[in-house]
Amino acid sequence: MLTAVTSILIFSMVILIHELGHFLAARSVGICVSEFSIGMGPVLFSKKGKETTYFIKALPIGGYIKMEGEDEEETSASESSFNSKSPIQRFKVIVMGPVMNFLLATALFMIIVLVYGISTTTVKDIDYNGTEYQAGLQVGDKIQSVQGKTVRYWEDLTNEITKHENKYEITVLRNGNDVTFEIPHNYRHIVGISPVVKEGEYTTEMSVVNIGFPAEIAGIKAGDIINTIDGVEMTSWDLIRETISESEGRPLIFGIYRDGLDLEISVTPEKQITIGYVTEVDRSFTTAITGSIHRTIYYVKLMFQLIGMIVTGQVGSEAIAGPVGIISMVGEAARIGLYPLLNLAAFISINLGFFNLLPIPALDGSRLAFIAIEGIRGKRIPPEKEGYVHFIGFVLLMALMLFVIYNDVLKILN
């Protein structure tokens, strides 16, 4: 029940903000909006305004606004119609949907930073047995760059460190001076699991099983209780973590309790770079502004990287999640706490904004592309031809949606 309610709220909020961007931009340039809908399918609620009818529909997987004259010839359009407006005005109306999604994500990240803080690059605590301390890193050092690349927050730092094999060069600010030295990597073995926390204590029940990691690939699920590894009783999370870390990458047999059944699952840990220090957390208002903008840009860059990896075949269709997969992730995030839920909501908003800007027929990006072509050639492509392209795109998108939902259901069943 919690998963369903939370998912509906998040989907509705993200779609509402997107369509509100289109709506407010349309009204600002004098376009009459006859319908404003959140959701698709059967109507649950409707209200007639002065010139707009507002709908809430049963399926929170989309939304739309209906503008006067959107599919009519420009010559027959009234002054309050979409097609009567200049290319710049129409561009503004279309682009404001995705822009509002990015602004929503930034606002959510700002709340996260103000409440939970954001990890900076100033070293707060360090493992005195780690390679970082042995190489010369000290508590209080402010890490400026990795391999010459400027880093400002923990995400930058870890992203740059993991790009380099064996060792990396680091520059820190210490007592007003820049100090540069090389650090060999620390490594550990992991399977990609996190425990449930009860009354401040880690348990042997799994709260998160990271997608694409050995545990998820082998079939371990959130909610599983780890009783044994290689026949040895696991009485604590620390013991589980230590056993995995010391495995040296050999297969481990996990004794799992799930839904009244005892299962045995073989998992082969993978080698991962680990960082032997933690950094200070900042919750200041200034950092909330800069950090939230930085995190939004960071996730947008990740979206570009994912598109590139899909195009080049580095990742397959399993990396794409549709409504069913997202609802599953929302449920896990809601069960863990507010922080991951807010973070996931921000990421979903970025995802919607980014995806809509792609030049795919029926999406905002395609409409922006037609307006750009109009600006270049000085003449608009006939609306009926543009509408035909968007219709074909819509059919293909629905086919893709069914394929993604099918994949989501298979993942859950498996």
Q: What is the pLDDT of residue 324?
A: 45
Q: Which amino acid is located at 191 in the chain?
A: V
Q: Indicate the range of 120-134, 324-338, 351-365 predicted with least confidence.
A: 324-338
- CA dihedral of 327, 330, 331, 337, whole degrees rounded to 10: -170
Q: What is the pLDDT of residue 121?
A: 94
Q: What is the pLDDT of residue 299?
A: 87
Q: What is the pLDDT of residue 400?
A: 64
Per-residue pLDDT reduced to its tens digit, 113-122: 999 889 999 9
Distances (CA, A) of 62 to 5, 15, 40, 297: 17, 6, 6, 24
Q: What is the pLDDT of residue 411?
A: 57
Per-residue pLDDT reduced to its tens digit, 239-252: 999 999 889 889 99
Q: What is the pLDDT of residue 75?
A: 46
- The span from the CA of 248 to the CA of 411, in Å, is 29
Domains, the chain, ordered by start: 2-114+347-413 (no CATH), 118-184 (2.30.42.10), 190-269 (2.30.42.10)
Q: What is the pLDDT of residue 52?
A: 92
Per-residue pLDDT reduced to its tens digit, 287-324: 999 999 999 998 888 888 777 766 666 554 554 554 44
Side-chain-side CA neighbours of 13 within 13 Å: the count stands at 20
Q: What is the pTM of this model?
A: 0.73
Q: Which residue has the higher pLDDT, 393 or 198?
A: 198
Q: What is the pLDDT of residue 58?
A: 82
Per-residue pLDDT reduced to its tens digit, 202-221: 899 988 788 778 998 899 98
DSSP 219-264: T--TT-EEEEETTEE--SHHHHHHHHHTTTT--EEEEEEETTEEEE
Q: Which amino acid is located at 371 in the chain?
A: I
Average pLDDT of the segment spanning 245-270? 93
Q: How would residue 342 be classed by pLDDT, with cut points 50, 70 and 90?
A: confident
Q: Indicate the range of 94-108, 297-311, 350-364 predicted with least confidence.
A: 297-311
Q: Give which of 163, 201, 203 is closest to 185, Cα–Cα.
A: 163
Per the DSSP assignment, residues forming a β-bridge with 372 are none
Does position 60 have pLDDT exceeding 80, yes or no? no
Q: How would residue 10 be classed by pLDDT, with cut points 50, 70 and 90?
A: confident
- 156 is written with which tokens? 């930058």
